[in-house]
Structure 1
Amino acid sequence: MSARQTETKVYQNYINGAWVNGSTGEFYQIVNPGNTDDVVGSFPLSTAEDMDRAVVSAHQAFQSWRKVPASVRAEYIYRFIALLDENKERLAEALCREQGKPYKEAFTEAARGVKEMRYVAGEAARLEGITLPSDRTGVTNTVVRVPIGVVAAITPWNFPILTPLRKIVPALIAGCTVVLKPASQTPLTAVILTELFEQAGLPAGTVNLVTGSGRKVGDALVSHPLVRGVSFTGSTHVGRNINKLAAENFTKVQLELGGKNPAVVADYANLERAATEIVNSAYTNAGQRCTAISRVIVLERHAESLEKLIVEKVKQYRVGNGMDPGTQIGPVVSEDAVNTIQEYMKSAQEQGASIVLGGSRLTGGIYDKGFYFEPTVITRVTPDMKVAKEEIFGPVLVIIRVASFEEAVRVANDTEYGLTASIFTDQLEWAYDFTEDVESGMIHINNGTISEGHMPFGGVKHSGHGAYSIGQTNKDFYTELKVVYTQYK
């Protein structure tokens, strides 16, 4: 290790109820994207061997955990939720340091996790089955739900508190055990969450944590024959590869993937409100959300007024380090992310779009020590442009003008994605037509793309595959059906 590493806190994997180093003894470092002088920690650069140990541990623990009454499993989770509530500030600070989002957003994520998990814990009493009449005398027919087994939870860097919770807690409630593979950029929050599960008294092996490269340990986890379900949130490209690996073992998958989410504005009188909703949905977490609004599709007759309102609001954003109370937009996650966004800016200009606000990396002062990009608005965008079709995953909003509502719907659907979509309109008929005709897993009428913790969450086309998550649909992934015929006389 370098001198810099020896001064940095070193963390471990968590396997079978114990904190252990990876088999190679090698580590990798995480730095604060808002200040690269701030080294967050060193984490195990694990191998397939480490992942195998974690999966075997989870499989062994499953044999007893699945038989624990659901109400008792819920008691463990309620203890965990109390600890989660007590550690919101600690989690928020860790998230701010390793991912960069403003502290207020990070704290909100932790607080939302507490609220959502209270709902999930209640699912222990709602794992209902079915009783159907039999064609025969003296026979009862029932359908019961049983846990699927070991679940691989593979989580992204943009919501490293909330997303692991949305996978681990419903799995445990259903009677499954878990191996968590967090994004390599954000392992610290995963370590803290795992510590809280340990403090809550979860039996050894029910929750396991392995950090490292997705290519090495992620693939080993997905393709492991003892893994019966893979819940993944991340890019469509990676999700496609996971689906292929999982198919070899007929492993169940739940994939939450990318988005290129439209907001259609058509005959909506309150353009001020529409602009506010759109901007909030576009630039939260520096636009690094799969549900971020990234395309505004507006009728020509409203376009000029709406564009001015959007630009005025975006100009007011203050970009800075997440721990600065005045910061409204933090850095993007990495140097690679900055470079990718810059490539999109170049493409937009080459294809004839107009960058009316932002479009460049921020430099000078604190900006030279982090990965900061200006909040950006691009106009004169046509549906065939690269910035109109591909997920940029940064603080960038493109505006497309159309002549009619019918054209707006066609443009909204003209992408491989189908995660979430908004419409702002006073025309009730258009609202209903939009709901019916737009190819999207989630629809918002006259509001931005903010989901709620008790509602199903998922997408269609290349935005998702498998059972929707979060709400009552979670049990469709974490359990499978068993049909029982009983002759009682």
Structure 2
Amino acid sequence: MTTELIEALTGKDWGLLINGASQAAADNAWDKVYSPATGLAIAQVARATETDVDAAVQNAKAAFVQWAALPGAEREKIIRKATAYVRTQADQIGGLMALEQGKPFAQSRGEVTSSCDLMDYYAAEAVRVEGYVNSTEKSNLYSWVVYQPVGVCGLITPWNYPVSLLSWKLGPAMATGCTVVVKPTEVTPLSPLAFCKALIEGGIPAGVINVVMGDGVVGAALVTHRDVAKVAMTGSTHTGKKIMSAIASQLKKVSLELGGHCPAIVCADADLDLAAEIIVYKGFRNMGQSCSTVNRVYAHHSIHDVLIEKIVSKAQKFSIGDGVLEGDCDLGPMTTAETLQKVERHVADALTKGASLHTGGKKPNGEKYQNGHYYTPTVLSKVSPDMLMMQEETFGPVVPIDSFDSLEEAIDKANDSDFGLCAYLFTKDFATTMRVSQALEAGTVCVNNGAVNTAYAPYEGWKDSGFGVELSRKAIFEYLKTKHIKVGF
């Protein structure tokens, strides 16, 4: 990022986005947003009240009438025009993400453009919401099924991929004719707010997208609002269960993409260079702050030591820096002090209980790292099930490696978790691929690759990892109601 761009993006006041206009909160309250690289405030955003949430929902409700009535082909044109404009703002939106989230500018900018790609994918689905005709029991009866948009949707998004995970929800919601109120996390509100603002500037009608900022109190007001017909949220399992409990009496639609504790099984016949490359990429990218991160590795005892050497060698080559000033570095700081503290706690616990440290396990050396939430990519072996990192999602740049003797043992270890989001398998044998991929208790299984999130395939968490589907054509039905029409002549 250039100095000019940094200066242009910092020190601003960002209001709520309601009915296409920026405005202060009803009580004029503001929250500061901080840089994880320096610990300094970079901007402040309006903190919504319940009155502001209601105003956002009512404007979305009013806009729903016309937006839902548009032909799908017209919505597709409007969305594509808007995303084309957003791409021209990718430097600014990506810059805000690098400032507030910590990932390098090149990765932040790429998240913005890939989010536009996903929005376009769903725009194309706007014309493919198809019903069907039934055969009936009498010749004078006609029966058909149609799908209609649910209405106003409350979208609650996290800080690790603040724009990408918003697009997963915004794309199908808008394509089907829904209107939305977005509540980004208070940690990284700037880039999703700027993304939504750019969509409106690009032609999305006022009121179709509204954004309110604030903490869990604001989120609770949104999800329990009587005029919010559907809630979509990505975040922790704990928060997801609180949302389910809060809306149980309202019986509204809900989809939740929650935590993971993803295993990787590396078989004796695996391509070890490929396995190490993908494990390192999935384990450390975005500082390990991803629900689909490789959280634990199970390597066959015959290749265990060699695999560790390859993983350590790759981990030690990562460059770490301020993602704003060093936009092409591999890793930036962790986003929050709390996540850094959890990583330190998990590593200390593992070492106390007998784990071996091969690399990392500390903040990087150097004055420039002292004020930020930095941590070196860490590889551990001799881990055991009683260690915290083998039970909980670390959500940081740590790869613990255990061994196994038989496939049954590997499967049992991989499935020994309350989570079931993603799993990884490395083998050259087709029979092993079929056997293990069927046995793994996860919504997504990647064999010899790490591309867990693809627009064309459903992404569903099993067990405590989620409720409902995101991505793929199936996700649009999370934003639709089913109607059966039966007519006698």
Q: Give the TM interval when normalised to the shorter protein.
A: over 0.9
Give structure 2 stretches of 5+ with no counterpart. Answer: 1-9
Separation in structure 1 between the aligned mates of residue 415 and residue 54 of structure 2, nearest angstrom:
42
Partner of 2:256: 255
Partner of 1:4: none
Match of 2:170 among 153, 168, 171: 168
Separation in structure 2 between the aligned mates of residue 430 and residue 381 of structure 1, nearest angstrom:
25
CA contact (8 A) 2:154 2:231 kept: yes
Shift of residue 384, structure 1, vs aligned partner: 3.2
Partner of 1:473: 474
Q: Which deviates more, 347-356 or 231-240? A: 347-356
Partner of 1:110: 112
Between the two proteins, what is the percent identity of the paired residues? 33
Separation in structure 2 between the aligned mates of residue 472 and residue 81 of structure 1, nearest angstrom:
19
Shift of residue 123, structure 1, vs aligned partner: 0.4
Amino acid at match of 1:375: P
| Cα deviation digits, residues 187-220 of structure 1 (max 9, x gap) | 111221121122133233211100011x210011
Shift of residue 325, structure 1, vs aligned partner: 4.0
Q: Which deviates more, 268-277 or 94-103? A: 268-277
Partner of 1:264: 265
CA contact (8 A) 1:291 1:449 kept: no
Shift of residue 67, structure 1, vs aligned partner: 1.4
Query: So what's the TM-score if we normalise by structure 2?
Result: 0.95
CA contact (8 A) 2:62 2:207 kept: yes
Partner of 2:209: 207
Instruction: Check if 1:447 corresponds to 2:446.
Output: no
Shift of residue 462, structure 1, vs aligned partner: 0.5
Partner of 1:277: 278
Separation in structure 2 between the aligned mates of residue 269 and residue 295 of structure 1, nearest angstrom:
17
Separation in structure 1 between the aligned mates of residue 423 and residue 158 of structure 2, nearest angstrom:
22
Match of 1:11 among 3, 11, 14: 14
CA contact (8 A) 1:55 1:226 kept: yes
Partner of 2:240: 239
Match of 1:384 among 372, 375, 386: 386
| Cα deviation digits, residues 287-336 of structure 1 (max 9, x gap) | 00111111111111110110111111101111111130451111000112
Matches within 5 A, 1:66-77: 66-77=68-79
Amino acid at match of 1:108: G
Instruction: Check if 1:29 corresponds to 2:32.
Output: yes
Shift of residue 363, structure 1, vs aligned partner: 4.9
Amino acid at match of 2:21: A
Separation in structure 2 between the aligned mates of residue 267 and residue 453 of structure 1, nearest angstrom:
32
Partner of 1:310: 311
Matches within 5 A, 1:334-345: 334-345=336-347
Separation in structure 2 between the aligned mates of residue 354 and residue 64 of structure 1, nearest angstrom:
61
CA contact (8 A) 2:86 2:202 kept: no
Amino acid at match of 1:404: S
Match of 2:331 among 329, 332, 342: 329
Shift of residue 60, structure 1, vs aligned partner: 2.0
Amino acid at match of 1:327: C
Partner of 1:412: 414
Shift of residue 50, structure 1, vs aligned partner: 1.2
Amino acid at match of 1:33: P
Separation in structure 2 between the aligned mates of residue 443 and residue 68 of structure 1, nearest angstrom:
38
Matches within 5 A, 1:420-435: 420-435=422-437
Partner of 2:485: 484
Separation in structure 2 between the aligned mates of residue 75 and residue 129 of structure 1, nearest angstrom:
22
Match of 2:241, SS state, is helix
Match of 1:444, SS state, is strand
CA contact (8 A) 2:68 2:177 kept: yes
Matches within 5 A, 1:32-47: 32-37=35-40, 39-47=41-49
Q: RMSD between aligned alpha carbons?
A: 1.4
Separation in structure 2 between the aligned mates of residue 230 and residue 218 of structure 1, nearest angstrom:
10
Gap change, CA 1:462 and 1:309, over 3 Å in 2: same
| Cα deviation digits, residues 119-175 of structure 1 (max 9, x gap) | 111001111112111111132211100001110000010111111122112111111
Match of 1:81, SS state, is helix
Amino acid at match of 2:237: T
Q: Which deviates more, 277-286 or 59-68? A: 59-68
Separation in structure 1 between the aligned mates of residue 293 and residue 140 of structure 2, nearest angstrom:
56
CA contact (8 A) 1:222 1:242 kept: yes
Separation in structure 2 between the aligned mates of residue 271 and residue 338 of structure 1, nearest angstrom:
30
Q: Structure 1 segments of 4 or more deviating over 4 A?
A: none
Match of 2:200 among 192, 198, 201: 198
Instruction: Check if 1:289 corresponds to 2:297.
Output: no
Match of 2:144 among 142, 145, 148: 142
Separation in structure 1 between the aligned mates of residue 271 and residue 74 of structure 2, nearest angstrom:
50
Matches within 5 A, 1:119-130: 119-130=121-132
Instruction: Check if 1:230 corresponds to 2:254.
Output: no
Amino acid at match of 1:129: G
Gap change, CA 1:371 and 1:310, over 3 Å in 2: same
CA contact (8 A) 2:18 2:210 kept: yes
Shift of residue 449, structure 1, vs aligned partner: 4.6
CA contact (8 A) 2:270 2:426 kept: no
Separation in structure 2 between the aligned mates of residue 119 and residue 284 of structure 1, nearest angstrom:
25
Separation in structure 2 between the aligned mates of residue 373 and residue 30 of structure 1, nearest angstrom:
21
| Cα deviation digits, residues 50-103 of structure 1 (max 9, x gap) | 111111221222223221211111121011111122122222111111100012
Gap change, CA 1:190 and 1:326, over 3 Å in 2: closer
Query: So what's the TM-score if we normalise by structure 1?
Result: 0.95
Separation in structure 2 between the aligned mates of residue 462 and residue 136 of structure 1, nearest angstrom:
46
Match of 2:83, SS state, is helix
Shift of residue 238, structure 1, vs aligned partner: 0.7
Separation in structure 2 between the aligned mates of residue 344 and residue 449 of structure 1, nearest angstrom:
27
Separation in structure 2 between the aligned mates of residue 81 and residue 17 of structure 1, nearest angstrom:
16
Separation in structure 2 between the aligned mates of residue 270 and residue 335 of structure 1, nearest angstrom:
37
Give structure 1 stretches of 5+ with no counterpart. Answer: 1-6
Amino acid at match of 1:311: V
